[in-house]
Chains A and B, each alone.
Chain A
Amino acid sequence: MAHNRGSGRGGRNRGPNRGHGSKKQQGSGSNAAIIQQVLPSLFNHADGFLDLSNLRTKFSGSNPTDRTFVMNLTRAICDQYRNVVSISLEGNNIRTLEPWRDLCQLPMLQNISLNNNDIRSLGELQHLSKAPQVTNLLIQRNPIEPKLSLEEIMAYVSHKMTSVRTVEGQPLPPGRLNLAPGLVHKIEHKSTAASGSMNRMNNASVTAFVRTFLTAYDARNSTLASMYHEFVHFSLSTMPTLPAPASSRHAMKGASKDSHASPQARATWQAYQSPVVNHGTTNAAMGPDEALRVGRQPVLELIGQLPRSQFAGESLQVEVVLRTVSGRGPTQQKPNLVTVLVEGKYLEQPKTSMGVTRMFSRTLVLAQTASSGQFMVTNDMLRLGEYQPKVTRELARQMTEAKAAPSTANPFVTQPQPAMEEIVRQLKTATGMRTVHCRELLEASKWDVGLTSANLEEFKRTQGGKIPDHMLGPD
């Protein structure tokens, strides 16, 4: 049956089992309440399948690579869904399985699909090595390095996850597989010396630095001063906002640079401007919506005049490109460089009653001039905008995925599930309710027909003895 997806947006009327009105959830995805609300709809009671694929679409505003979110999610799963048999983690940009390792506590977990993620090293499977019962593993369409044959993958998996019996749908050969020590080394210890290589450990330390930097920025304290390079460039501007999505063509054509900011954005920007704040440069390309400062002191001065903010929140999206120097390590002349793009929501004037949530995009270049040295910010471009949830998540997802779209069904089951469709049909015939409400009712009671019946009776009582008209219908 088509699995119930996309119920992360809390705006739908959930029918008889939700007494209170529905609100659109705008909190960060690590919010335990959102997890509680969405999780039931992802679990198929009949076959024990938990659909955690494409989590971005299911949990509004969440980032499935965010460690806090994942830990909250796995904790909830281990508490309440101990009879999970299959899990799909497809399409989540997962690079490391470390935050997911609590899934090993699920005693009945047999099937895991990690297809269509961003796993670079098979060594990540070590985080799942404690899973006692996993017999089937899928790990296709991941950029795993180095390239391994299926035999090599099977050999490694059979040693790290001893319960596994099939990999990529292929059964493991009987008997103990030969795992060469050279192979283990190849899998678990990639070379990191080459210039431009992606060092996973440093990736994490960069993200940690970015958080520390944003926290210092929010506090406007002396730590911030020590993080900015002496010759730092800082610029501040406002983002263009989407025009109304009417079919008016002139919204796209002829939108000149001056007119891109909405009246609201301009008004807010005006509030930042004072004779001192504006225009640290005579560069003609900088329009009236931007300000540039060069040098640590002028930059700190400008920042000191901006409204208080809270950037270091939970739902940050951090993209990092790392450039490491080979040979004798980074120096002043040849530093390690990192380019970072951070995007997300931030809170402006958090301690006042006028605090408002806005979008931001921030580009940073960090330089490290000694192996043990701290990163220094050499470039900081901050762009502020408004909260614009107008783009559909689905379109954005389609845009960025390559042509082979991931499967969203349970990858371990090939037959459809006629029994459930039949139950839905029967309920529909019995009550006259629309299909969507029949399904909601059944899912809410985990397909327990007796409980469904009781819930329906209870609901009818609260509605004056019958099902409301808007819930009835032929579809």
Chain B
Amino acid sequence: MSDPVQIGTAFVKFYYQTFDTDRANLASLYQANSMLTFSGAQAMGSAAIMEKLTSLSFRKVQHDVEGLNINIQPTVNDSILVFVSGQLIADDDSDHPMMFSQVFTLCPSNGQWFILNDIFNLSFL
């Protein structure tokens, strides 16, 4: 397998740029058995996951892609585990950036990578 760190890093940049500009385009990254846990709320399958992601009460989100802290490890079944934390700004409220943590498990399928597991938490403890 080619370098998981490269794959993971490229994926992360693509994911957040897509999330920030056109969230609905993320649909192709999730498949029928993908699972999302978004601050405790769970969804399974591309349709349910996209419904969750497009129904957040904030209209605009901007992740600080350059300042992300990314850890990548290969994991079971040739998958890649990606652990991201960083900041995001919601609805242009740049006085209140928020910390978040996100975990992805990426799986290969027909030469493409898709998200098998996705866990997102805002850190505000």
Contact = CB atoms under 8 A, between A and B. Distances in A.
Given A252-B97, A319-B37, A61 B125 contact: yes
A363 interface: yes
Contacts of B57: 398-399, 401-403, 405
Interface in B57-76: 57-58, 64, 66-69, 71-76
A143 B93 CA distance: 31
Nearest to B38: A400
Contact of A343 (B74, B89, B97, B123): B123
Contacts of B6: 285
Given A242-B99, A319-B37, A337-B76, A381 B81 contact: yes
Given A247-B94, A400-B56, A196 B66 contact: no
B103 to A, nearest CB: 5
A399 B122 contact: yes
A321 B124 contact: no
A243 B72 CA distance: 25
A388 B96 contact: no
A275 interface: no
The bracket for how many chain A residues form the interface is 35 or more
Contacts of B122: 391, 396, 399-400
A323 B119 CA distance: 14
A195 B9 CA distance: 28
Interface stretch (A216-224, A255-263, A444-452, A461-469): A255-263
Nearest to B8: A285
A395 B98 contact: yes
B40 A257 contact: no
A361 B99 CA distance: 11
Contact of B124 (A196, A245, A378, A391): A391
Nearest to A339: B117
B124 A393 contact: yes
Interface string A223-237: 000000000010101
Interface string A271-306: 000000000000101000010100000000000000
A196 B68 CA distance: 29
Nearest to A65: B40
A378 B124 CA distance: 28
A395 B85 contact: no
21 contacts: A143-B41, A198-B44, A240-B69, A240-B86, A246-B95, A285-B5, A285-B9, A285-B72, A290-B71, A292-B73, A317-B125, A319-B40, A320-B37, A339-B81, A345-B125, A361-B123, A379-B81, A391-B124, A398-B57, A401-B56, A402-B56
Interface of A: 61, 65, 93, 118, 143, 195-196, 198, 233, 235, 237-240, 242-243, 245-247, 249, 252-257, 260, 283, 285, 290, 292, 315, 317, 319-321, 323, 335, 337, 339, 341, 343-345, 359, 361, 363, 365, 367, 378-379, 381, 383, 388-389, 391-393, 395-396, 398-403, 405
Interface of B: 5-6, 9, 33, 35, 37-42, 44, 52, 55-58, 64, 66-69, 71-77, 81, 83, 85-87, 89-90, 93-99, 101, 103, 105, 116-117, 119, 121-125
Given A242-B97, A290-B71, 11 more contacts: A118-B42, A237-B71, A238-B69, A246-B95, A256-B67, A323-B35, A345-B125, A365-B105, A378-B75, A381-B71, A395-B90
